[in-house]
Structure 1
Amino acid sequence: MKLIFMGTPDFAAVILKKMIEVGHEVIAVVTQPDKVKGRGKEMSFPPVKEVALEHNLKVYQPTKVREPDFVQKIREMQPEVIVVAAFGQLLPKELLDIPPYGCINVHGSLLPKYRGAAPIQYSIIDGEKETGITIMYMDVKLDTGDMILQKSLTIAPDETGGSLHDRMAVLGADLLAEALDQIKEGTAKRIPQDDSKATYVKIIDKSMGNIDFSLSAEQIERLIRGLNPWPSAFTHLDGKTLKLWVAQVEDTDVKAEPGEVIEIRKDAIVVMTGKGALILKELQLEGKKRMSADAFLRGYSLSKGTKLGRN
């Protein structure tokens, strides 16, 4: 099909590659503007732009896709379908009405659950046992359009935001290819969403990673996995940021304050929470590399009774 692809991060880049691989005619790629990144203040391309340039595709990076000049530009290209995956902007009705086969979105949840910007991370943070991909027709509201296909995916007990993201991107690419075939053949379904069952999730930001040790160990462990690799869960130790990468949950009868180190083991640091203990296995102190707890303890003197968090 003659399509325009709109997407920005790695998730979308995997899907764009699949569209090229299966032979769709990608006449243009639309992504977010380049950003300054790192201490060197170098300009960084969105992952989708990098894929587009590798395949000599035309790239557009509008600040706002609803600008009349840009809408007209899309209209002149006459796409049969517009595919959207983690693009980062809502499409106005003027754009949605252009392609005869509609605008199709790849969403990282089993809609109507987890509408919004970060469904993959929240499915782990909330303790879901499964999630999945929804391919849907877009409308002017956020993730409310009719569904075409859904496929579920089991969330592993040790799943991280990063590992689930990678698996979901591959599933999304495959399911989109299947949906586009159905659309072309005229066999695609339109399944309305049950709005009464809808839930919404907000954008992930760095402040979400600041651990509240009054929560249960189970909640904190899920937060650590859900925010791995970005933006990461963290606390503070002696005034420095301490990122927590891998942790386990353990029952305990010890009486102590949430955030208090209640035991130092050879290969772990045991911290009290609002319910149960959190066993820290991998961590990273500000200015240092990520390391196992035993390596950390060989280079840092930490004693029982130390309180994590800002004092």
Structure 2
Amino acid sequence: MKIVFMGTPDFAVPCLDEIVRRQHLVQAVITQPDRPKGRGKKLAPPPVKEKALQYNLPVYQPEKVKDPNFIEVIKDLSPDCIVVVAFGQILPKAILDIPVYGCINVHASLLPQYRGAAPINWAIINGESMTGVTTMYMDEGLDTGDMIIKKEICIYNKNAGELHDEMAREGAILLGETLELVAIGRAPREKQCNEKSSYAPLMDKALGRINWSKSAKDIYNLIRGVNPWPTAYTTYDGEVFKIWKAKIVEKDCKDQPGKIVKVDGSGILVCTGQHLLSIEEIQFPNNKRMGVDEYLRGHMIHENRILGE
């Protein structure tokens, strides 16, 4: 099939790889404009652009896809299908109506659950045991189109970064299967049940602040769900530090939530609203990320202090 691919971040790269591997004709790759990155704020290309250039594919980077001139570019290409994976802009009806086989999206959840921008993170934060990837026909709504096929993925104890990479790989495989079904006219269409839908909004740095009055399980899920970004954090003696890894210790604690009850090389044991949490990997300002054992070789963490104050 003749395909126009729209995607931007790392999550979308395996899907572009899969389309090329299956020898579809990629007419163009549409991605977001280069953005300032890093301390030097130098312009950096999106990961999808870097991959497209490796394949010598034409790349377009419109500020707004609803620009009439850009819409004419897509019309002139006359693609059989537009594939959209974490593109970052909402497509207008004028584009949705162009391809013969429609616009197909790869979404990182088991729709209709977790529609929106951050489904991987919120599935972990909310303590789900299962998530997955869904391909769907796009409509004018936010992740509301008819579903094609799904793949379930167990979350286990993965953090958001680990789950992201697994879902990107599985999403690419699912996309390949979807395109084959579409090409032969055998792709199913299943309406989404809006009553069963949920929303996964954009995250911000404030989301990572730990509320120690919550249960150890909830805090554990938050730490995993915001790793690698925006990262869970709290304060010790007024200094903010990040928490990268922790584990639940199912023992009751009647002390004040946030109180450090024990410190040794295995971790910093903290009282929560329910049970204890052992902090295993931390990062203080101007320091690298490290295990608690390594940090304690050159620094002190005192018992009976209250985190978050």
What TM-score does the superposition give when structure 2 sets the normalisation length? 0.98
Give, in whole Å, the separation in 1 of the partners of 2:142 and 2:70: 21
Q: Please report how far the alpha carbon of residue 252 of structure 1 lies from its aligned counterpart in structure 2 after TM superposition.
A: 3.0
Q: CA-to-partner distance for each residue in 1:163-217, whole Å, 9 max, x for gaps? A: 1111101111011111111111011111111111111110111111111111111
Counterpart amino acid of residue 242 in structure 1? F
Q: Please report how far the alpha carbon of residue 250 of structure 1 lies from its aligned counterpart in structure 2 after TM superposition.
A: 1.2
Identical-pair percentage: 50
Asked whether the equivalents of residues 3 and 24 of structure 2 are also in contact (C-alpha less than 8 Å), the reply is yes
Counterpart amino acid of residue 138 in structure 1? M
Counterpart amino acid of residue 253 in structure 1? D
Alignment of 1:1-311 (within 5 A): 1-156=1-156, 158-309=157-308, 311=309
Give, in whole Å, the separation in 1 of the partners of 2:66 and 2:114: 25
**SS at structure 2 position matched to 1:299:** coil
Counterpart amino acid of residue 299 in structure 1? G
Q: Please report how far the alpha carbon of residue 238 of structure 1 lies from its aligned counterpart in structure 2 after TM superposition.
A: 3.0
**SS at structure 1 position matched to 2:273:** coil
**SS at structure 1 position matched to 2:134:** strand
The Cα RMSD (Å) is 1.0
Asked whether the equivalents of residues 120 and 164 of structure 2 are also in contact (C-alpha less than 8 Å), the reply is yes
Give, in whole Å, the separation in 2 of the partners of 1:130 and 1:12: 21
Q: Please report how far the alpha carbon of residue 240 of structure 1 lies from its aligned counterpart in structure 2 after TM superposition.
A: 2.7
Give, in whole Å, the separation in 2 of the partners of 1:37 and 1:249: 36
**SS at structure 2 position matched to 1:189:** coil
Q: Which consecutive residues of structure 1, in runs of 5 or more, have no partner in the other structure?
A: none
Give, in whole Å, the separation in 2 of the partners of 1:86 and 1:260: 41
What TM-score does the superposition give when structure 1 sets the normalisation length? 0.97
Give, in whole Å, the separation in 2 of the partners of 1:50 and 1:237: 41
